[in-house]
Amino acid sequence: MERREFLRKNGELFLSLPFLAATRPDFSLRPGLAEYESYAFTIGKFKCRVFKDQMFKYLGKDYFINVPDEEVSRALERYQQKPDNIPSPFVSMLIENGSDKILIDTGIGYSREPITFRGKSYQFQGRLLEILAREGVRPEEITTLVLTHFHPDHIGGVYSDAGTPNFPKARVVLHEAEWDFWRSDRSAGQSPMFYLFIRNNIEPLNKGNLELLRGQEAEISPGVTAIRIPGHTPGQIAVRLASEGKGLIYISDAFLHPLHIEHLDWQTNYDLDHAEARKSRSRLLSLAAEAGLPIQAFHFEFPGIGRAEKAGNGWKWASAKI
Ligand SMILES: [Zn+2]
């Protein structure tokens, strides 16, 4: 069956899918507090900034699907969180090296009007473009756009709601395995909301300045390397920065919560392949620890920067500003 055909026929399926529980806007974002929305640091000669696009609320039953409720509640208490409210940012990271400006992920995107999709209304008003403007970064200055995977909170801001590219001069870099997966029948049955975002933000790239990465590791630009970490999606990538003996790994959605670092076997509803995801998680932690690298974790408490440290036989997350 053609994928589109499949989607049309199974349109109602999406209403019960977990992503949508997380798509309702959280109005608790405090406007005007720049320190909550942009965090700057340097890695060697790279000037980096993490931007907070929008906040969302996730649920314990989606984040930890193979763990008894009682245990999830107890574990979340240490993070002052409850299973019915796990706040998480959507972020985007800018790396500047002279005139080279690399943006990793684009947030959920901004629509002036609520999006009506199959009879329901959704408000997607990510603030990435507004924050970039306030920080003095013009969209046409972005030279490279890196998309770590095709979930809405990462690709929503590639195009405007009018269908024009938000970063018109950027080459767009992503992994071939992600591109192939979402264009094949293997992705049939994913949330149709995912396809809405892919139709608006990925399909038009066919005509754009698209560059597909291949293999396990691939250089994006000098000192910026993509590392394939399948599991969450087949072609998800992490991005490793290396400059003047310093470094950092942007791990995207390899870990959604610090508890996934403490418990590598705790699975989430958002990973497509749990065994692959676990392998990628393990590999990332070893990689970061062996090289002594800090981590940026997309969904962790903003700005999501810290280190994975050995703890007994496992690991723990130590949030740390750099
Ligand atoms: Zn995500």
Q: Give 301 Cα–ligand 1 centroid separation in angstroms.
A: 13
Distance from the alpha carbon of residue 256 to the mean position of ligand 1, in angstroms: 8
Report pLDDT for 249.
Answer: 98
Of 67, 72, 139, the C-alpha closest to 106 is 139
Please give the distance, rounded to the nearest whole angstrom, from the Cα atom of residue 5 to the centre of ligand 1. 27
* Helix (H) or strand (E) segment spanning residue 62: helix 60-63
Q: What is the mean pLDDT of residues 73-83?
A: 96
C-alpha distance across the termini of the chain, in Å: 50
Give the pLDDT mean for 171-189. Answer: 95
Q: Where residue 166 falls among pLDDT bands split at 50, 70, 90?
A: very high
Nearest C-alpha neighbor of 317 from the set 295, 302, 292, 299: 295
Retrieve residue 190's tokens.
């994913």
Ligand 1 centre distance from Cα of residue 321 (Å) = 21
- Residue 58 above 60 pLDDT? yes
Q: How far apart are CA 92 and CA 298, in angstroms?
A: 8
In this prediction, residues 172-177 reach a mean pLDDT of 98
Distance 150 CA to ligand 1 centre (A): 9
The DSSP string of 168-198 is TT-EEEEEHHHHHHHTSGGGTTS-HHHHHHH
Q: Does 9 score more than 90 pLDDT? A: no
* List of domains in the chain: 3-319 (3.60.15.10)
Convert the pLDDT of each residue in 15-28 to its tens digit. 333 343 333 333 33
User: Taking all residues of the chain, what is their mean pLDDT, rounded to a whole number?
Assistant: 89
Per-residue pLDDT tens over the stretch 130-143: 999 999 999 999 99
Cα dihedral across residues 48, 111, 234, 90: positive or negative? positive
| Structure tokens, 305 | 């920067």
What pLDDT, on the 0 to 100 scale, is given for residue 320?
A: 84
Distance 253 CA to ligand 1 centre (A): 5
Cα of 70 vs its chain's centroid, Å: 28
User: In 3D, which of 104, 198, 113, 194 has the Cα closest to residue 143?
Assistant: 104
Q: How far is the CA of 146 from the centre of ligand 1 (A)?
A: 14
Residues 6+ apart with CB under 8 A from 129: 110, 139, 157, 166
Ligand 1 center to 155 CA (angstroms)? 10
154 Cα to the center of ligand 1, angstroms: 6
pLDDT given at position 240: 98
State the distance from the centre of ligand 1 to the C-alpha of 20, rounded, in angstroms. 13
- 112 CA distance to ligand 1 centroid (A)? 22
Q: Which residues contact 161 (CB under 8 A, 6 or more apart)?
A: 109, 110, 111, 112, 113
Instruction: Determine which of 1-15, 63-77, 302-316 has the lowest per-residue pLDDT on average.
Output: 1-15
Residue 55 predicted with pLDDT over 50: yes
Question: Which is higher by pLDDT, 290 or 18?
Answer: 290
- The pLDDT, as a whole number, for residue 248 is 98
DSSP state at residue 114: P
Taking alpha carbons only, the member of 36, 18, 40 closest to residue 93 is 40
The confidence score (pLDDT) of residue 117 equals 72
pTM of the model: 0.88
Q: pLDDT tens digit string along 201-246?
A: 999 998 778 999 999 999 999 999 999 999 999 999 999 999 999 9
| 252 CA → ligand 1 middle, Å | 7
User: What pLDDT score does 296 carry?
Assistant: 98
What is the pLDDT, as a whole number, of residue 7?
A: 37
pLDDT of residue 1: 39
Q: Tell me the C-alpha distance between 216 and 196, whole Å.
A: 29
CA of 14 to the centre of ligand 1 (A): 18
> When comparing pLDDT for 28 and 113, which is higher?
113
3-class secondary-structure state, position 287:
helix
Q: Residue 49 in 3-state DSSP?
A: strand
Ligand 1 centre from 136 Cα, in Å? Answer: 26
CA 187 – ligand 1 centroid, Å: 17
CA of 272 to the centre of ligand 1 (A): 13
